[in-house]
């Protein structure tokens, strides 16, 4: 192994404590407006916006900097339709046969069901894959570390970037999601993580009347 190389922290920006307080408060004020939306407009979104959101996601920290993610951006109406059909099959099974009552009760406040028109309406389905291991050109496997955690962080950045750009998103997880490998031609070592549905909200879109836990409930300072 060659020795590691280091360069000066290149673009770090320090702020005065007052500026930090203002910036942190401003970021919170903006991100708290983010809502998961399930009714999408068919209005197109410039592809460059999604490209930059994905570049932002790709800056996420990852185990051993392996960057074990792959994003398949689907805008083709025929592929979106196929994904919808397959997802709705799984969701029908989920809502009518597989989900225990406890799970259905937990979902009740969201008002979700097996119908997923947003998978066709939204201009973009960003299908996020986690590479559970790498594969060398000669077929040998390379171990990946903390792939799920890493892809979760990248997905969080993507959700924030999409919001920051002025769009809405939905983290959608049909279960099981193996059909996405087939439809999108991704290899078996890439596991579907979730579908991030992105676009403009439909006119008159509504969201469930739910709230976030206050700081005292989610954090302890000792
Ligand atoms: N995948 C189903 C069910 C679902 C599960 C959870 I956990 C949610 O937070 C929301 C929905 C669906 O998409 O309807």
CB of 175 shorter than 6 A to ligand 1 = yes
Enclosing domain of residue 141 = 34-203
Q: Does residue 210 lie in a domain region?
A: no
Structural domain count of the chain: 1
Ligand 1 atom 2: residue of nearest CA: 174
Q: Does residue 8 lie in a domain region?
A: no
Among 37, 93, 112, the mutation site with the greatest number of ligand 1 atoms within 8 A of its Cβ is: 112
pLDDT of residue 123: 98
Q: Does residue 62 lie in a domain region?
A: yes
| pTM for the predicted model, two decimal places | 0.96
Atom of ligand 1 nearest to the CA of 99: 3
CB of 112 shorter than 6 A to ligand 1 = yes
Q: Does residue 24 lie in a domain region?
A: no
Any idea what DSSP says for residue 109? Answer: G
Spatial contact of 53 and 128, defined as CB atoms under 8 Å apart: no
Spatial contact of 41 and 202, defined as CB atoms under 8 Å apart: yes
10: pLDDT strictly greater than 90: no
pLDDT of residue 79: 98
Q: Six-digit token pair at 215?
A: 């700081």
> What percent of the chain has pLDDT above 70?
100
Any idea what DSSP says for residue 201? Answer: B
For residue 95, what are the contacts with CB-CB under 8 A and spacing of at least 6? 104, 113, 114
Average of per-residue pLDDT values in the chain: 97
Task: Give the CATH number for residue 167.
Answer: 3.40.109.10
Q: Does residue 14 lie in a domain region?
A: no
Q: Does residue 16 lie in a domain region?
A: no
Q: How far apart are CA 159 and CA 191, in angstroms?
A: 19
Q: Does residue 64 lie in a domain region?
A: yes
221: pLDDT strictly greater than 90: yes
| Helix, strand, coil shares, percent, the chain, to 5 | 40, 15, 40
pLDDT in tens, 26-76: 999 999 999 999 999 999 999 999 999 999 999 999 999 999 999 999 999
Q: Does residue 128 lie in a domain region?
A: yes
For 199, other C-beta atoms within 10 Å of its C-beta total 25
pLDDT in tens, 97-156: 999 999 999 999 999 999 999 999 999 999 999 999 999 999 999 999 999 999 999 999
> What percent of the chain has pLDDT above 90?
97
For 8, other C-beta atoms within 10 Å of its C-beta total 5
Q: Six-digit token pair at 211?
A: 């709230």
């Amino acid at each position: 192994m060659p020795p590691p190389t280091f360069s000066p922290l290149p673009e770090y920006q320090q702020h005065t404590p007052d500026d930090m307080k203002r910036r942190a408060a401003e970021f919170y004020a903006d991100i708290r407006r983010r809502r998961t939306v399930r009714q999408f407009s068919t209005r197109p979104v410039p592809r460059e916006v999604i490209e930059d959101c994905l570049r932002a996601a790709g800056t996420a920290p990852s185990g051993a900097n392996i960057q074990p993610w792959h994003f398949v951006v689907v805008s083709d109406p025929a592929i979106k339709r196929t994904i919808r059909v397959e997802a709705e099959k799984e969701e029908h099974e989920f809502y009518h046969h597989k989900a225990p009552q406890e799970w259905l009760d937990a979902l009740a406040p969201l008002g979700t069901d097996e119908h997923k028109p947003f998978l066709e309406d939204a201009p973009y389905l960003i299908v996020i894959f986690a590479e559970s291991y790498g594969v060398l050109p000669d077929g040998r496997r390379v171990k990946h570390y903390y792939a799920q955690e890493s892809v979760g962080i990248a997905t969080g950045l993507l959700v924030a970037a999409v919001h920051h750009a002025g769009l809405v998103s939905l983290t959608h997880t049909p279960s099981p999601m193996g059909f996405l490998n087939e439809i999108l031609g991704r290899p078996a070592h890439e596991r579907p993580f979730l579908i991030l549905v992105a676009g403009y909200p439909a006119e008159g879109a509504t969201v469930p009347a739910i709230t976030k836990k206050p700081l005292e409930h989610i954090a302890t300072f000792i």
